[in-house]
Structure formats: structure tokens, C-alpha cells
Structure 1
Amino acid sequence: MQNPFDGDNNEGPNGLPVPPNYATVTKADNGDIRIGKVGFSFTAFIFDFWVPIFRGDWYNFFCIAGIELGVGMGFYSIHFTNIQVQASWYSLVELALKLLWGFWYNYMYFRHLFNRGYQPATQRSKDVLANKGYLPKWLK
């Protein structure tokens, strides 16, 4: 297959190319491969807590759901003068949470994979993860 991306990044399953801002991690004991984007997660920004459900990332799902529920319950415990003001402020809070998950979800996903025993599959993936600060100190 012709590589549509620049460079030698054929580290996907069966040698398929991955985009330059993606990293591949593997688990040594069972050979499980995970490929994920490094940087801002537009899917987490748009689809919120559905992303960890579809990735089978239950740890981060419960983290996101807990924070969203806590912020929502705390927000609705505040007394507002009318419902329009409350709805306006809640939409701003919701946008702030979506931006938070957009910037942080991929970082949380890779960190959880590293805690479960995954390692960067290639030196290119290790470099991509290290440049964005995703690698823990014990893995560098």
C-alpha cells in the first residue's frame, strides 16, 4: 500500500501507515496494539463522554462522568433569578468542560494505557509522545 503520509510510519496493524500526529503503543505480554492521536481531541470535544465508551476506556469514562455530574449538580444548586440566565451560564460551563476534555482526553487515555503496561511501539511513536509530554518520567 502506498503511504499517503510523509515519512516511514508504517507502524499500524499489518504495516498500515498512521498519520504523523498519531502514536502506536503495544502491550508486551499479549501483543495488544492501540493507536491514538496525540494532541487536541476533536472527538472528545464534540462527543464528550461517548469517546471513552467506544474505546473501552472505562476508567476515563468514570472520571469524565464523575466530574461532569459533580459540576452539573453543583451548578444547579446555585439559585438564579430566572431560567434564561441559568441556561446561558450553563451553556458556558458546558463549553468549558468540552474544551477541557478536548485538550486533556488523549493525554488521559495514553497515561492510563502506560499505567496498564503499554509501551511505545516504535521510536517514532516514542518521540511523538515525548514531544507532547505524554510519556511518564519512568518510561523516558
Structure 2
Amino acid sequence: MDPFFNGNNDENNQDEEEKKAFYSLLPSNYAIVTNGENTKVNKVGFSYTSLFFGVLPAILRSDWYNLACMIGIQLFFSMLVTFVTGIGLDQASESLSFLFQVIWGFIYNLMYFRHLQNIGYKAGTPESLKLLVENHYFKVKRK
């Protein structure tokens, strides 16, 4: 189900025209993906929300898989720093937090789109497909 259109119109053609008009208003760096019943619209590129808020965007998107990956990686490296330097886990985690926020800023949207593709989402428009493939967010499956 498309979150932007609830299907109250009797004519499907009018619905499709409204969708095209709405989607044409999106910035050129936003992609639309759908799995038939759900549609998601997200930015391709650097994630400023992950830069400023860390793992919070994953929570707000209900992206539990990537949230677990992000927390697991942060915990592993915090434990590694604790082991190597002897400082406390809380201090190691705190000192690495900004570094990880920068890293998630660069790769979170990529992780999110790749996971969506792995669970069956496809590009919703030809422009989205082109954007996702050109930026290596979606892997092209060769026949």
C-alpha cells in the first residue's frame, strides 16, 4: 500500500496520474522502492540524520536488521578498544561514538537500500532504478 495515496478514487488512471505528479516533486536524489504492497521513499547519498543522531534513523524506520548490525559493530570495536587500552567499556564507547556516526552517515542509506532489495523491494519508478543502480545501491541481477 502506498503511504501517500489511500486509493479513495474510483478511477485507477487518476490515481496513477496523481502518483506521477507527486513523485515528480521529489528531489532528484530520492528513490522510491516498493514490494507490491508497501512503498518507501528515501534519500540516496549521505545520511545527515545518521551523522547527527547515530542509530536513531534505523529505529525510526523500523530497520531492525541494520540496527542490530550497527550496534553489534559498535559494541565489537568498543570491546576491542577496551581490551587493547584497558579503559572502561563506557569510555571506549563514548570515544568511538562520533567516529561511528560519521561512518553511518556515509553508509547507512546504502545499507538500508541493499537490505530492502534483499527482502524483495524493487525500484518504484525508472528514475529510481537508474539512481539506485548508478550509485551502486541496488545490485543489477544479470540473466
TM range (shorter): 0.7 to 0.9
After TM superposition, what 4+ stretches of structure 1 lie above 6 angstroms from structure 2?
none
Match for residue 66 of structure 1?
Answer: 72
Match for residue 140 of structure 2?
Answer: 137
Q: How far apart are the structure 2 equivalents of 1:51 and 1:57?
A: 8
Matched, 1:118 2:121: yes
Identity %: 36
Long gaps (5+) in structure 2: 6-18
TM-score, scaled to structure 1:
0.77
Q: 1:79 to 1:134 in 2, by over 3 A?
A: closer
Q: Contact conserved, 2:34 with 2:122, CA < 8 A, in 1? A: yes
Per-residue displacement from partner, 1:4-27 (whole Å, max 9, x unpaired)? xxxxxxx98343332211000010
Q: Contact conserved, 1:12 with 1:18, CA < 8 A, in 2? A: no
Per-residue displacement from partner, 1:76-107 (whole Å, max 9, x unpaired)? 22336x99xxx69x63x333211210111000
**1:40-51 mapped onto 2 (5 Å cutoff):** 40-51=46-57
Q: How far apart are the structure 2 equivalents of 1:76 and 1:42?
A: 29
Counterpart AA for 1:113: L
SS in 2 for 1:137: coil
Length, aligned pairs only:
123
The Cα shift of 1:135 comes to 1.3
